[in-house]
């Protein structure tokens, strides 16, 4: 038979363990939250329709995303820029896409004044429309992105938007 002292000790242990469990559950949920959410980095984003793109003419398209940081939800805002170039009908790929971030120091890549190449104004990195460098400034060519087209009559251009490490000869994705 249990006396009062043993009953109080067991009761204290049970209540203490229940309180510890009640505090541990939110802590574990907080630590596992990034795994539960997954990553948007690997998702294809709809950026444009194919019909407005002209063959061989680059079009800059912003990548817009709603972000969430801990408990704060931000409205949709631009998180990057992508250059889309429609290819001729006989080409293997109908559209190619490049990130508009220079692989040299991460500055924004624009069209050159004559509209026949890409140019980074920070240190005059220059690129052809196929992404190859025209001078020795950048460590590699422009970073090409994966493209997918929907099966509609007027296909939607979807791009897997990623950022890559700058000042590196290798194309290394950033987390």
CATH number for the domain harbouring residue 132? 2.102.10.10
pLDDT-derived band of residue 39, with 50, 70 and 90 as boundaries?
low
- Return the structure tokens found at 47: 């950026």
Average pLDDT, the chain: 88
pLDDT-derived band of residue 25, with 50, 70 and 90 as boundaries?
confident
Q: How far apart are CA 103 and CA 100, in angstroms?
A: 9
Q: Do 33 and 61 fall into the same domain? A: no
pLDDT over 70 at 163, yes or no:
yes
- Count structural domains, the chain: 2
Structural domain includes residue 130: yes
Q: Do 30 and 57 fall into the same domain? A: no
Structural domain includes residue 167: no
Structural domain includes residue 6: yes
Structural domain includes residue 166: no
Least confident of 44-48, 62-66, 68-72, 104-108: 68-72
> What's the confidence (pLDDT) of residue 72?
83
Q: How far apart are CA 137 and CA 126, in angstroms?
A: 8
pLDDT-derived band of residue 101, with 50, 70 and 90 as boundaries?
very high
> What's the confidence (pLDDT) of residue 8?
87
Q: 3-class DSSP state for residue 57? A: coil
Q: Do 89 and 137 fall into the same domain? A: yes
The string over 38-63, giving b where at least 16 C-beta atoms fall within 10 Å of a residue's C-beta and e elsewhere, is: eeeeeeebebbebeebeeeebbebeb
Structural domain includes residue 69: yes
Q: Do 86 and 54 fall into the same domain? A: yes
Q: Do 31 and 72 fall into the same domain? A: no
pLDDT-derived band of residue 160, with 50, 70 and 90 as boundaries?
very high
Structural domain includes residue 63: yes
Between CA 106 and CA 41, with CA 60 as vertex, the angle to 5 degrees is: 60
Q: Do 51 and 135 fall into the same domain? A: yes
Q: How far apart are CA 48 and CA 58, in angstroms?
A: 13
- The one-character DSSP state at 10 is H
Q: Do 30 and 6 fall into the same domain? A: yes
Q: Do 25 and 88 fall into the same domain? A: no
pLDDT over 80 at 10, yes or no:
yes
Structural domain includes residue 168: no
pLDDT over 60 at 41, yes or no:
no
User: Is 63 in contact with 45 (CB distance < 8 Å)?
Assistant: yes
Place of tokens 């052809």: 128
> What's the confidence (pLDDT) of residue 67?
80
CA of residue 30 relative to chain centroid, distance: 23
Q: Do 7 and 87 fall into the same domain? A: no
Higher per-residue confidence, 1 vs 92: 92
Q: Do 48 and 69 fall into the same domain? A: yes
% the chain with pLDDT above 70? 93
Place of tokens 């924004």: 108
Q: Do 17 and 68 fall into the same domain? A: no
Structural domain includes residue 175: no
Higher per-residue confidence, 55 vs 28: 55
Q: How far apart are CA 11 and CA 138, in angstroms?
A: 70
Structural domain for 25, as ranges: 1-38
Q: pLDDT digit string (tens) for 135-158?
A: 999 999 999 999 999 988 889 999
User: Is 150 in contact with 158 (CB distance < 8 Å)?
Assistant: yes
């Amino acid at each position: 038979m249990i006396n009062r002292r043993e009953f109080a000790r067991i009761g204290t242990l049970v209540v203490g363990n229940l309180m510890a469990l009640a505090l541990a559950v939110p802590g574990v949920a907080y630590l596992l939250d990034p795994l539960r959410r997954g990553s948007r980095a690997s998702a294809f984003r709809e950026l444009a329709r194919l019909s407005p793109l002209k063959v061989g003419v680059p079009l800059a398209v912003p990548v817009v995303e709603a972000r969430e940081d801990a408990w704060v939800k931000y409205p949709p805002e631009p998180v990057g820029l992508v250059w889309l170039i429609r290819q001729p009908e006989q080409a293997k790929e109908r559209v190619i896409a490049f990130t508009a971030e220079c692989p040299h120091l991460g500055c924004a890549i624009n069209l050159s004044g004559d509209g026949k190449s890409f140019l980074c104004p920070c240190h005059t990195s220059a690129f052809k429309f196929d992404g190859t460098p025209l001078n020795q400034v950048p460590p590699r060519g422009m970073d090409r992105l994966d493209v997918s087209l929907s099966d509609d009559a007027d296909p939607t251009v979807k791009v897997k938007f990623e950022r890559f490490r700058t000042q590196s000869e290798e194309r290394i994705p950033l987390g």
